[in-house]
């Protein structure tokens, strides 16, 4: 039930729309009740052989009620789309904002497909619960009060019976809540896993084909889909049991009400005119409850998402995001200092970095060399604030890294990663992402500096050429050069090149190196390198192995005194 009330809390972002939705629901019920009541009065007038003018008046009133009801229903359908869109947009924004705050340290522990399912299908499934079921509860409460009062005036016993049946139709779904909750959570998990596996298989299609296991993987996906279908049928069984009981209650309530009124007419307690009104109105009185039941069953999937949704929203935020953080303080040529820095990706896990001491001097180029797994890229992740470290282990211009607001910190750093990511869109949009306000001339200048301008202008639509998902339509070297152009355009005081030329062919490597040298001027630069040739001119080189700093010096100094560095250079010469 806690999840139930937590979900309702989202409606506070659409208070006005929720009130309008309730009023529309009441208006529709009122028009429907009036239509039936006028119809009953018309039948009574005919049976009592009243004058035609009175009969015609009841007919016109009934027709007007029908017209008003149709208009309200039509407007409600339009309004519900706007109402639902506002609520779902707010939920999606909160989830995305939270994931962005948590950063890669959270995302790396989740399957992308699961998060994608939550943000798209999961939030979508909340529509019925939040914008239909919850407002309908208010409609049912007001309707029950009115109907009970009205029907008690006609026949007290019938009025009380309808009140009892209304209460039953509201309570029954919540009696089934524990069983429904367990089944639906399992249903959603099965769905999210199936979706995640499908995305993995689509993204890894080339690998599956090359390994010759695409058919085997397809069978596994099929078996998973069959398992999901079985879970869906189990969910349907519980849903039907619930809805069957509610339908029985509504039908029984209507039938017994008519029967009681008929008995009372026979006993002379009420006139036959009351029986006619009960005959027409009993079913209408319970229709809002029937609608409530329908909305409840449509809400099942949304309720199943609640646990995962609230898990993300309640996930503990790193301490630094809760403090008053600085949005200034990093100079044009900042100095970066790492002091006795140790780090583990998992609590109680092995140290990835062990007592690391480094200084990246102001305006100079510092390189880190080492085999894969030595901790080089971890340092980059820590500098970007993707993971928490012990306080004051990393300083920028004498200030602790954790004292800076995350967005400000990252705005001061340009990065080119080993695996450059391009988004679906134009080449121009991908470069401009680093600085949205940049002019076309500045974009072209950055592309020229990255030695990619000539390649871009020869594309079918030049800078307006669409890049496939994840940059799949470009080669690794082309993606890398566009990423370099993006970093150059950002023009941040700190430049990080994490294996930035690893995907560039030897022919263009020197030209790009020259471009990067230009970009490094007047910046504090950190270079993580696989190719030793890319760091020969660095002002200082740190050599890492197994998370430890094993050497420090210039290229020439390390060649003379550092065996690990000598082995790295020697291994490179044999590639």
Tens of pLDDT, residue by residue over 202-215, are 666 656 665 566 67
On whether both 151 and 184 belong to a single domain, the answer is yes
On whether both 307 and 398 belong to a single domain, the answer is no
Confidence of residue 1 (pLDDT cuts 50, 70, 90): low
On whether both 231 and 373 belong to a single domain, the answer is no
pLDDT of res. 71: 93
More confidently predicted of 167 and 549: 549
- Which CATH number goes with the domain that contains 187? 1.20.1560.10
More confidently predicted of 169 and 161: 161
On whether both 177 and 34 belong to a single domain, the answer is yes
Residue 320 has pLDDT above 60, yes or no: no
On whether both 374 and 299 belong to a single domain, the answer is no
Residue 319 lies in a domain: no
- Which CATH number goes with the domain that contains 411? 3.40.50.300
pLDDT of res. 560: 87
- Print the domain residue range for 474: 336-573
pLDDT of res. 530: 66
Element holding 555 (H helix, E strand): helix 555-561
On whether both 115 and 157 belong to a single domain, the answer is yes
Token code pair at residue 152? 């008690």
Confidence of residue 194 (pLDDT cuts 50, 70, 90): confident
Over residues 143-170, the mean pLDDT reads 84
DSSP string, 344-404: -SSTT---SEEEEEEEE-TTSEEEEEE-TTSSHHHHHHHHTTSS--STTSEEETTEEGGGB
CA distance to 77, 155, 176, 336, per residue, from 126 (Å)? 17, 40, 19, 47
b/e map of 265-275 (b: 16 or more CB within 10 Å)? beeeebeebbb
Residue 341 has pLDDT above 70, yes or no: yes
Residue 327 lies in a domain: no
Instruction: Identify which of 400, 368, 362, 394 has the alpha carbon closest to the alpha carbon of residue 542.
Output: 368
pLDDT of res. 67: 92
Q: How many domains does the chain have?
A: 2
Residue 455 has pLDDT above 70, yes or no: yes
Residue 338 has pLDDT above 90, yes or no: yes
Q: What tens digit of pLDDT does each residue of 249-307 get?
A: 778 888 888 888 888 888 888 887 888 888 888 877 778 888 888 888 777 777 778 87
Neighbouring-strand partners of residue 366:
526, 540
- The span from the CA of 513 to the CA of 525, in Å, is 13
Name 511's Cβ contacts closer than 8 Å, sequence gap at least 6.
451
CA distance to 45, 52, 68, 234, 537, per residue, from 38 (Å)? 10, 15, 14, 45, 93
Residue 315 has pLDDT above 70, yes or no: yes
Q: Name the phi and psi angles at 493, rounded to 5.
A: -70, -20
Most confident among 26-35, 278-287, 423-432 (mean pLDDT):
26-35
Q: What tens digit of pLDDT does each residue of 8-20 get?
A: 888 989 999 999 9
Instruction: Identify which of 302, 323, 317, 313 has the alpha carbon closest to the alpha carbon of residue 93.
Output: 313
- Three-state secondary-structure class, residue 409: helix
Over residues 501-511, the mean pLDDT reads 61
Confidence of residue 60 (pLDDT cuts 50, 70, 90): very high
- The gap from C-alpha 255 to its chain's centroid, in whole angstroms, comes to 47
Mean of all residue pLDDT scores within the chain: 81
Confidence of residue 420 (pLDDT cuts 50, 70, 90): confident
Q: What tens digit of pLDDT does each residue of 519-567 get?
A: 777 789 999 876 677 788 888 999 988 889 999 999 888 888 888 888 8
pLDDT of res. 562: 86
On whether both 383 and 303 belong to a single domain, the answer is no
On whether both 224 and 281 belong to a single domain, the answer is yes
Q: Model's pTM, two decimal places?
A: 0.67
Neighbouring-strand partners of residue 220:
none
pLDDT of res. 516: 73
pLDDT of res. 19: 94
pLDDT of res. 351: 84
On whether both 268 and 391 belong to a single domain, the answer is no
On whether both 401 and 507 belong to a single domain, the answer is yes
More confidently predicted of 429 and 521: 429
Residue 494 lies in a domain: yes
More confidently predicted of 563 and 321: 563
Residue 313 has pLDDT above 80, yes or no: yes
CA distance to 4, 20, 291, per residue, from 133 (Å)? 12, 14, 9
Residue 328 lies in a domain: no
Residue 571 has pLDDT above 80, yes or no: no
Which of 259, 283, 314 represents a domain boundary (last residue)?
314
Q: What tens digit of pLDDT does each residue of 467-490 get?
A: 866 566 677 677 888 888 888 888
C-beta of residue 137 within 8 angstroms of C-beta of residue 295: no
Residue 491 has pLDDT above 80, yes or no: yes
Residue 298 lies in a domain: yes
Most confident among 23-27, 39-43, 251-255, 292-296 (mean pLDDT):
23-27
On whether both 307 and 349 belong to a single domain, the answer is no
On whether both 404 and 274 belong to a single domain, the answer is no
Which of 284, 314, 344 represents a domain boundary (last residue)?
314
C-alpha Rg value of the chain to the nearest Å: 34
Confidence of residue 358 (pLDDT cuts 50, 70, 90): very high
Q: What tens digit of pLDDT does each residue of 68-99 get?
A: 999 999 999 999 999 999 999 999 888 888 88
């Amino acid at each position: 039930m806690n999840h139930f009330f937590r979900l309702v809390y989202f409606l506070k972002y659409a208070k006005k729309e929720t009130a309008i939705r309730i009023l529309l629901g009441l208006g529709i019920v009122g028009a429907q009740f009036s239509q039936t009541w006028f119809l009953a009065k018309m039948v009574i007038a005919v049976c009592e052989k009243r004058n035609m003018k009175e009969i015609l008046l009841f007919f016109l009133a009934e027709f007007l009620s029908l017209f008003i009801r149709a208009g309200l229903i039509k407007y409600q359908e339009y309004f519900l789309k706007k109402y639902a869109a506002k609520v779902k947009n707010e939920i999606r924004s909160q989830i995305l904002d939270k994931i962005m705050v948590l950063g890669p340290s959270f995302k790396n522990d989740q399957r992308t497909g699961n998060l994608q399912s939550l943000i798209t299908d999961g939030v979508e499934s909340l529509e019925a619960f939040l914008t239909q079921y919850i407002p309908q509860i208010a409609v049912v409460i007001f309707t029950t009060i009115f109907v009970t009062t009205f029907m008690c005036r006609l026949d007290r016993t019938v009025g009380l019976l309808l009140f009892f049946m209304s209460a039953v139709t509201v309570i029954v779904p919540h009696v089934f809540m524990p069983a429904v909750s367990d089944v639906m959570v399992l249903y959603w998990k099965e769905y999210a896993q199936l979706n995640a596996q499908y995305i993995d298989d689509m993204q890894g299609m080339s690998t599956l084909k090359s390994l010759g296991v695409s058919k085997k993987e397809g069978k596994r996906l099929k078996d998973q889909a069959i398992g999901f279908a079985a879970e869906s049928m189990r969910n349907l069984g519980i849903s039907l049991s619930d809805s069957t009981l509610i339908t029985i209650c509504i039908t029984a309530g209507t039938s017994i009400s008519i029967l009681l009124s008929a008995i009372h007419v026979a006993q002379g307690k009420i006139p036959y005119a009351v029986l006619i009104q009960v005959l027409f109105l009993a079913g209408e009185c319970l229709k809002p409850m029937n609608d409530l039941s329908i909305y409840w069953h449509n809400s099942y999937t949304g309720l199943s998402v609640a646990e995962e949704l609230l898990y993300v929203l309640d996930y503990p935020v790193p301490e630094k995001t809760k403090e008053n953080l600085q949005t200034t303080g990093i100079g044009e040529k900042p100095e970066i200092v790492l002091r006795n820095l140790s780090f583990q990706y998992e609590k109680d896990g092995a140290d990835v970095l062990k007592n690391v001491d480094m200084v990246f001097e102001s305006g100079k180029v510092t390189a880190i060399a080492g085999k894969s797994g030595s901790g080089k890229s971890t340092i980059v992740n820590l500098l970007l604030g993707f993971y928490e470290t012990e306080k004051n282990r990393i300083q920028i211009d004498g200030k602790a890294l954790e004292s800076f607001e995350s967005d400000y910190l990252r705005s001061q750093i340009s990065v080119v990663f080993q695996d450059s990511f391009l988004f679906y869109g134009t080449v121009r949009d991908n470069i401009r992402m680093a600085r949205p306000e940049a002019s076309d001339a500045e974009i072209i200048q950055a592309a020229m500096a990255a030695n990619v301008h000539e390649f871009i202008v020869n594309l079918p639509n030049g800078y307006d050429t669409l890049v496939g998902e994840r940059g799949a339509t470009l080669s690794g070297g082309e993606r890398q050069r566009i990423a370099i152009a993006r970093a150059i355009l950002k023009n941040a005081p700190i430049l990080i090149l994490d294996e930035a030329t690893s995907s560039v062919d030897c022919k263009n490597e020197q030209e790009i190196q020259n471009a990067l040298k230009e970009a490094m001027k007047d910046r504090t630069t950190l270079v993580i390198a696989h190719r030793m040739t890319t760091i020969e001119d660095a002002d200082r080189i740190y050599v890492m192995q197994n998370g430890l700093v094993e050497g420090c010096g210039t290229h020439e100094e390390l060649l003379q005194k550092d065996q690990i560095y000598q082995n790295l250079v020697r291994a490179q010469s044999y590639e």
